């Protein structure tokens, strides 16, 4: 058992500022009170403790109060990605078997038609609360969140993240970074992403402040970094580059109070790391995934130059090994073990084991050097990482081949200055059609960032002797 995070934190540091957003602030005591109100109103609307509910909202204080209210109810929260199409949302809602969807008012119209009850934020606000007493302890093995990650089959998997998973990540991170006076995280990543939710968990467990942004604003972010009002931040390569360009245009450096910039979501170009050092930013590259509730390994700031390009060493409670080898510098699949690893999935993949012999098979290729530092060579052989978002080609291929004019489809990532990579598609037709019509079709069924930037019509796709598509050879067709 573990103490209820919200009650425990509000008891330990009730008057400490927990959250700031657009000039407003809330203490931990105020967040606990607001969360209890939400829990009591959700009960009145028919949501019961331990129910599975979906949350569909932007990153504002309201989603935090709702998340904390659901924590009080010990609900399993399915965090829906705002960038998904109605088709993708419908799949996740149905697959997760959520009993209710709690949605921001302006987003209700973007939800698909569903038999699942939908409660808007304003409906929750207007509901009269009923009696409810929150449990003071939680079972560590209970599922807290469910986040969908794209699958190599083209069907996203609903990843269970337990209370124990989140506590393990937050504790390992604390052992790695320590705490300082007036510690504060700057959060511009969505709270429905594991990186954003993990940041919220760290703040609740460590008792530090979260400065929340509804979207990335480079000028305001750089202002805070320069003035030293925050100490830590998480970024992906594309946002890091925008921060660096803004600092360079101003000819400024970040405050010495700013300690750590965690970089995840894919490899960071070495040039970015060198530019960051010139601006006083200690970038700590990280390696993790939805199945590990965020960080598995992190490169410490003292090793940033000596081990440039590395994702560092496993955090305190975590283990990493390379499959089928124990020799340094020999590449293989990255295997992960620790209390941060998901116990499994929901829905379609509920019976799929998340581990083999206690190890999570990441599908990523990497190696450990002679000092035990991890280098990630390829984040899954076919994975496209665009602006920190993971895109599996199979998802796009499934949509394209569902069109009556397409016989075969192959998708790969191509380099892009702004996003790192973007998807391109190659199709073999069975009926004549213009590529712009296929792009329009994809826009109806896929999130905008998954829509191919270009579609090429080809006579055949590259395949091996077993007739398996060779996506790595698709670029040769351009």
Percentage, residues of the chain above pLDDT 90? 74
The candidate with the shortest Cα–Cα distance to 260, out of 222, 221, 299, is 299
Among 171, 172, 167, 168, CA closest to 316: 172
| Res 203 pLDDT > 60 | yes
The fold for domain 2-138 equals Rossmann fold (3.40.50)
Backbone conformation region of residue 253, classed left if phi is above 0, alpha if psi is from -120 to 50, else beta: beta
Contact between residue 50 and residue 144 where contact means Cβ atoms under 8 Å apart: no
Residue 9 is encoded by which pair of tokens?
Answer: 């934190």
| Mean pLDDT value of segment 68-79 | 98
| Range 179-183 contact pairs with CB under 8 angstroms and sequence separation of 24 or more | 179/206, 179/208, 180/231, 180/259, 182/209, 182/231, 183/208, 183/209, 183/231, 183/232
Fold match between 2-138 and 167-378? yes
CATH number of 384-477: 3.30.300.30
Instruction: Give me the residues paired with residue 52 across strands.
Output: 76
The C-alpha atoms of residue 252 and residue 142 are separated, in whole angstroms, by 46
CATH of region 167-378, choose from 3.90.45.10, 3.40.50.12780, 3.40.630.30, 1.10.287.70: 3.40.50.12780
Least confident of 151-160, 186-195, 376-385: 376-385
Q: Mind listing the pLDDT tens digit for each residue in 172-188?
A: 998 888 888 899 999 99
User: How is the chain split into domains, by residue range?
Assistant: 2-138, 167-378, 384-477
Helix (H, G, I), strand (E, B) or coil at 385: strand
104: confidence class by pLDDT, cuts 50, 70, 90: very high
**Residue 107 · residue 120 · CB < 8 Å:** no
Residue 456 backbone zone (phi > 0: left; psi -120 to 50: alpha; other: beta): beta
Give burial (CB, 10 Å; 0-12/13-18/19+) of 333.
middle
Contact assessment for residue 315 and residue 299, using Cβ atoms and an 8 Å cutoff: no
> Quick one: tokens of 338?
């620790």
CA distance 397 to 410: 6
CB 451 within 8 A of CB 443: yes
For residue 290, the model assigns a pLDDT of: 92
Q: pTM value?
A: 0.84
**pLDDT at 234 (0 to 100):** 94
């Amino acid at each position: 058992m573990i103490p209820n995070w919200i009650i425990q934190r509000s008891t330990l540091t009730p008057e400490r500022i927990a959250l700031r957003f657009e000039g407003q602030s809330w203490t931990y005591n105020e967040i606990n009170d607001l969360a209890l109100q939400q829990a009591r109103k959700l009960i009145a609307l028919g949501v019961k403790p331990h129910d599975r509910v979906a949350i569909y909202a932007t990153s504002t204080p309201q989603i935090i109060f709702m998340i904390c209210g659901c924590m009080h109810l010990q609900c399993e929260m399915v965090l829906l990605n705002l960038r998904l199409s109605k088709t993708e949302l419908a799949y996740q809602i149905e697959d997760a078997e959520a009993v209710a969807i709690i949605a921001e008012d302006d987003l209700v119209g973007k939800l698909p038609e569903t038999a699942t009850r939908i409660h808007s934020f304003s409906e929750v606000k207007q509901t009269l609360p009923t009696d409810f007493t929150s449990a003071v302890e939680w079972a560590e093995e209970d599922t807290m969140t469910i986040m969908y990650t794209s699958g190599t089959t083209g069907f996203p998997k609903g990843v269970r993240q337990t209370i124990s998973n989140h506590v393990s990540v937050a504790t390992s991170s604390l052992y790695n970074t320590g705490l300082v006076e007036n510690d504060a995280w700057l959060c511009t990543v969505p709270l429905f992403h594991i990186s954003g939710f993990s940041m919220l968990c760290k703040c609740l467990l460590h008792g530090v402040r979260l400065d929340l942004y509804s979207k990335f604003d480079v000028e305001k972010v750089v202002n805070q970094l320069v003035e030293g009002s925050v100490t830590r931040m998480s970024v992906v390569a594309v946002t890091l580059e925008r921060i660096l360009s803004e600092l360079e245009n101003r000819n400024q450096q970040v405050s010495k109070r700013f300690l750590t910039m965690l970089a995840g979501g894919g490899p960071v170009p070495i040039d970015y790391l060198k530019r960051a050092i010139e601006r006083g930013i200690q970038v700590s590259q990280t390696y993790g995934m939805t199945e590990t509730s965020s960080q598995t390994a992190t490169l410490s700031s003292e090793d940033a130059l000596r081990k440039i390009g590395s994702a560092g060493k496993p955090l305190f409670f975590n283990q990493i090994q390379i499959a089928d080898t124990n020799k340094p510098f020999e590449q293989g699949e990255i295997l992960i073990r620790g209390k941060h690893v998901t116990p499994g999935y929901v829905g379609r993949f509920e019976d799929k084991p998340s581990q083999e012999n206690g190890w999570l098979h990441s599908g990523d290729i990497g190696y450990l050097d002679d000092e035990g530092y991890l280098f990630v060579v390829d984040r899954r052989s076919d994975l496209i990482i665009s602006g920190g978002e993971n895109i599996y080609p199979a998802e796009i291929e499934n949509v394209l081949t569902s069109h009556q004019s397409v016989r075969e489809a192959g998708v790969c990532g191509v380099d892009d200055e702004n996003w790192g990579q973007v998807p391109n598609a190659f199709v073999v037709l069975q009926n004549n059609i213009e590529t712009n019509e296929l792009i329009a079709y994809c826009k109806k069924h896929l999130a905008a960032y998954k829509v191919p930037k270009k579609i090429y019509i080809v006579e055949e796709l590259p395949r091996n002797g077993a007739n398996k598509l060779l996506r790595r050879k698709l670029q040769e067709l351009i």
